[in-house]
Amino acid sequence: MLDFSQLRCFVAVAEELHFGRAAARLNMTQPPLSRQIQVLERVLDVQLLERTSRSVRLTAAGRSFLPEAQHILRLAETATHVTRQVAAGRSGVLKLGFTAASAYDFLPRLVTACRAALPDVTLSLREMVTKDQIEGLLSGQIDAGLIRPPVTHPELGAARALAEPLIAALPSGHPLAAQASLGLGDFAGAPFIAYAPHEAHYFHDLVVGLFAEAGVQPSVRQQLTQIHSILALVRAGLGLALVPAAAERLRFDGVAFRPLDLPEPRPAELYLTWRRDHDNPVLGGLLRVLGTMGEP
């Protein structure tokens, strides 16, 4: 059976064509080097080198075997490197779920940071609502997810990835667009595009809670799931809306965005979530990248 140490000895001698230089290169003496070559020749049952007192030459079999031996050693080195990279979380594949809204700003920044810090890691991205991500995490369909809180399942760990303010979205020709910022009182009785209570329950509960605390009741005209759909109706003049600040990145023509004055900050949060008993080392690398990003 071939031995890597024998292959290294043969390659060194074949490349140097000198036992002394090959021994120095391998940090060993010549006698054990010669014995390794002899053992290899017995294993292969061929003569690889022609030795004289003045020279070392490759036989025809040796010339044929050299590139094969070099290839085997490169494969072994690559396998060792890749295995260590995977074990350290610097290489491999991570299946990451994300909500549509996280793709407006945070997800691109996370992907960019991962490509810079973990160039050998492949992110397999899957757009999924929070409920489906939690099911995917528990079933092993995804390794990690970017979801809306709360994260209450005992099998899941979580770290806050983002907390961004809510802002007002209104038709650019609306009288309130002349104001530098809006308060919740500006929405009293105003036509409003709201979030669906089940499909978009996180944003629904957040916005309804804000209005309830302020004692304000807008006139809900539509209830939708996706933020870009809400902005489309705002642009059509059907009502006002509250959206996360990242929605401004969509640059909807005909929609004006204004800061929202609140008595206390009530940000929209996003969490990176994973199974506590996961076995993917890449997740550790992703968490390190997340820790370097901070929150905008």
The fold for domain 166-266 equals D-Maltodextrin-Binding Protein; domain 2 (3.40.190)
Average pLDDT of the residues in 157-170: 96
Residue spans of beta strands (DSSP E) within 152-267: 156-164, 166-171, 182-183, 191-195, 219-224, 241-244, 255-261
Instruction: Say whether 166-266 and 92-163+269-293 share the same fold.
Output: yes
Place of tokens 């929405």: 187
The fold for domain 92-163+269-293 equals D-Maltodextrin-Binding Protein; domain 2 (3.40.190)
At residue 296, the pLDDT reads 46
What is the domain partition of the chain in residue ranges? 4-87, 92-163+269-293, 166-266
Residue 295 confidence (pLDDT) above 80? no
Place of tokens 């206390």: 264
272: which residues sit within 8 A by CB, 6+ positions away?
A: 144, 145, 146, 158, 159, 160, 161, 286, 287, 290
d(CA 290, CA 296): 12
d(CA 227, CA 229): 5
Average pLDDT of the residues in 19-48: 92
36: which residues sit within 8 A by CB, 6+ positions away?
A: 5, 6, 9, 10
At residue 234, the pLDDT reads 97
Do β-strands 241-244 and 120-127 pair in parallel, antiparallel, or remain unpaired?
unpaired
Q: pLDDT by residue (tens digit) across 211-228?
A: 999 999 999 999 999 999
Mapping DSSP to helix (H, G, I), strand (E, B) and coil, where does residue 244 land? strand
Domain 4-87 has CATH 1.10.10.10: yes
At residue 105, the pLDDT reads 93
Residue spans of beta strands (DSSP E) within 19-155: 49-51, 56-58, 91-98, 120-127, 144-147
At residue 79, the pLDDT reads 75
At residue 265, the pLDDT reads 86
Cis peptide before 175 (omega within 30 of 0): no
d(CA 238, CA 244): 19
Do β-strands 56-58 and 219-224 pair in parallel, antiparallel, or remain unpaired?
unpaired
Taking the CA atoms of the chain, what radius of gyration do you get in angstroms?
A: 32
Instruction: List 195's β-bridge partners, or say none.
Output: 224
Q: How far is CA 21 from CA 9, 18, 34, 292, in A?
A: 11, 6, 13, 48
For the chain, what percent of residues have pLDDT higher than 90? 83
DSSP 54: S
Q: Is 194 left (phi over 0), alpha (psi -120 to 50) or beta?
A: beta
The HSE-up count of residue 162 (CA atoms within 13 Å, CB side) is 24
At residue 215, the pLDDT reads 96
At residue 86, the pLDDT reads 66
